[in-house]
Amino acid sequence: MTAPPRLTLGHRPRLQPFWDVRAACNFIGGGTGTGLIMVAAGAALVGGPWWPAALVGFACVAFGLGMVFLEIGRPWRAINVFFHPQTSWMTRESVLAMPLFGLGAAALGAGLVLGADSGVAIAALVLAALIAAGFLYCQANILRAVRGVPAWREPALRPAMLATGLAEGAGLFLVVGALASPTPPAWSLWLALLAVAARGAAWSRYHRTLHRAGAPEASLRVLDRMAPWVLGLGHGLPAVLLAMALALPPTMGSAAPSVMAGVAGLLIAAAGWTAKLLLMTRAAATRGFTVPHTPVRGRGTSRPSPAPPGWGL
């Protein structure tokens, strides 16, 4: 017989045992996908190539939702997810997924049939991008509504989640662009640079705020360890690469800017994925229990409990 299971219950914050890499994939796929859809819509509006990026974007969102399907305990009841739009961000996210994919199918289909510059396709894609923004907003709020995990409950996480979705989209747009063309449009480089700067600022703010507000040590430890890597490899290095790509004189036939942009884009996206994966599966400590007073046993004394056990302030 195998050893009896060792329980992980207790009063200290513990790693949430519920959402694993499958759930993280929803935030990874959803963030990247919606970001990419939005960037693709931008590209469409400025007359750039958008179809492959849009396809990848919708696929990412679909992948994320598919992973959720695998995560939930009763997948064949998944339809019940629509029952509570009044307050549940998860219902809202699911509700938005419907028109998102409807418009996505229309945009991609029209683009395929009528051409990428078809007004119908572009209009559908732009509408889809608006929905995608809503979807991304829902995802950010799904975490924000989780009262049991202080690292997710922190309000500063919401802009960070939005920023990373956009940054991942912008980054992946560069990757898709690099595969399609040797010369990435400058605007996409500038957008990625902007997005990565915004995300860097938003994540740093989130990290700082969480420290200031207090959070389980287990969460802070993971975030602290992650920060230099994510900021360095996912922000600093891609920013340098992007700057170099922008600075390089356009040389006919040179793939250097495209490669640099593609690598930068991949780093940007991968940093977002890593951060979300760690946030979901490693830094997601529960809040533990706070007891403001110890009891007075007989004629003993009570003492206040200055901080929840297992918290870092």
Contacting residues toward another protein, per CB under 8 A: 1-7, 9-11, 14, 16, 18-19, 23, 68, 71-75, 77-78, 80-84, 87-91, 94, 142, 145-149, 152, 284, 286-303, 305, 309
Which of 55, 61 has the CB closer to another protein?
A: 61
Contact 36, 167 (CB under 8 A): no
3-state DSSP call for residue 207?
A: helix
Shortest reach from residue 282's CB to another protein, in Å: 15
3-state DSSP call for residue 15?
A: strand
Residue type, 85: P
Angle between helices 51-71 and 119-144 (to 10 degrees): 40
Q: How many CA atoms lie within 13 A of 97 on its CB side?
A: 26
How far is residue 46 from each of residues 37, 122, 143, 257, 258, measured CA to CA in Å? 14, 10, 34, 21, 19
Shortest reach from residue 69's CB to another protein, in Å: 10
Shortest reach from residue 298's CB to another protein, in Å: 4
3-state DSSP call for residue 216?
A: strand
Which of 249, 292 has the CB closer to another protein?
A: 292
Shortest reach from residue 234's CB to another protein, in Å: 26
Which of 91, 274 has the CB closer to another protein?
A: 91
Contact 159, 130 (CB under 8 A): no
Q: How many CA atoms lie within 13 A of 245 on its CB side?
A: 31
Rounded Cα distance between 10 and 147, Å, is: 18
Which of 68, 133 has the CB closer to another protein?
A: 68
- Please spell the DSSP secondary structure of 271-288, one letter per residue: HHHHHHHHHHHTS-B---
Which of 4, 253 has the CB closer to another protein?
A: 4
Shortest reach from residue 112's CB to another protein, in Å: 33
End-to-end CA distance of the chain: 43
Shortest reach from residue 16's CB to another protein, in Å: 6
Q: What is the dihedral of CA 204, 218, 9, 276, to 10 degrees?
A: 40
Which of 74, 247 has the CB closer to another protein?
A: 74
Shortest reach from residue 225's CB to another protein, in Å: 17
Shortest reach from residue 150's CB to another protein, in Å: 9
Which of 45, 78 has the CB closer to another protein?
A: 78
Rounded Cα distance between 170 and 174, Å, is: 7
Which of 1, 247 has the CB closer to another protein?
A: 1
